[in-house]
Amino acid sequence: MKRVGLLHPGEMGAAVGAALRGGGADVLWASSGRSDTTRSRAEAAGLTDVGTLAELVERSEMIVSVCPPHAALDLAGAVAACGFGGTYVDVNAVASATAREIAATAGRVTDGGIIGGPPRVKGTTRLYLSGPGADDVAGLFSGSPLDAIVIEGGVGAASALKMCFAAWTKGTSALLVAVRAVAAAEHVDPALLDEWAISQPDLPGRSEGAARGTATKAWRFVGEMHEIADTFASAGLPDGFHRAAADIYERMARFRDAESVPTLEEVVAAVVQSPS
Q: Cα angle vertex 147, ends 145, 153, to 5°?
A: 155
Model confidence over 124-135: pLDDT tens digits?
Answer: 999 999 999 999
Neighbouring CB atoms inside 10 A of 248's CB total 25
Model confidence over 245-270: pLDDT tens digits?
Answer: 999 999 999 999 899 999 999 999 99
Alpha helix (H) residue ranges in 36-131? 36-45, 53-59, 72-81, 96-106
Task: Name the fold adopted by 3-153.
Answer: Rossmann fold (3.40.50)
Q: Number of helices (H) and strands (E), helices first, in the chain?
A: 12, 8
Model confidence over 191-208: pLDDT tens digits?
Answer: 999 999 999 999 999 999
Residue 64 to residue 16: CA distance in whole angstroms:
9
**Could you give the 3-state DSSP secondary structure of residue 252?**
helix
What pTM, to 2 d.p., does this model score?
0.93
CA distances from 10 to 65, 95, 126, 254 (A): 11, 21, 18, 19
Query: Residue 274: which pLDDT band, with cuts at 50, 70 and 90?
Result: low
225 in Cβ contact with 198 (< 8 Å): no
* Strand pairing class (109-115; 126-130): antiparallel
Model confidence over 139-187: pLDDT tens digits?
Answer: 999 999 999 999 999 999 999 999 999 999 999 999 999 999 999 999 9
Task: Name the fold adopted by 160-271.
Answer: N-(1-d-carboxylethyl)-l-norvaline Dehydrogenase; domain 2 (1.10.1040)
Q: What percent of the chain has pLDDT over 90?
A: 97
Residue 86 to residue 43: CA distance in whole angstroms:
25
CA distances from 3 to 90, 116, 221 (A): 16, 25, 30
Residue 114 to residue 10: CA distance in whole angstroms:
14
**Domain extents for the chain?**
3-153, 160-271
Neighbouring CB atoms inside 10 A of 198's CB total 7
Closest C-alpha to 19, from 30, 32, 9, 34: 9
Query: Residue 276: which pLDDT band, with cuts at 50, 70 and 90?
Result: very low
Residue 7 to residue 66: CA distance in whole angstroms:
6
Q: What is the dihedral of CA 93, 96, 100, 102, to 10 degrees?
A: -10
pLDDT score, position 192: 98
* Strand pairing class (62-65; 147-150): unpaired
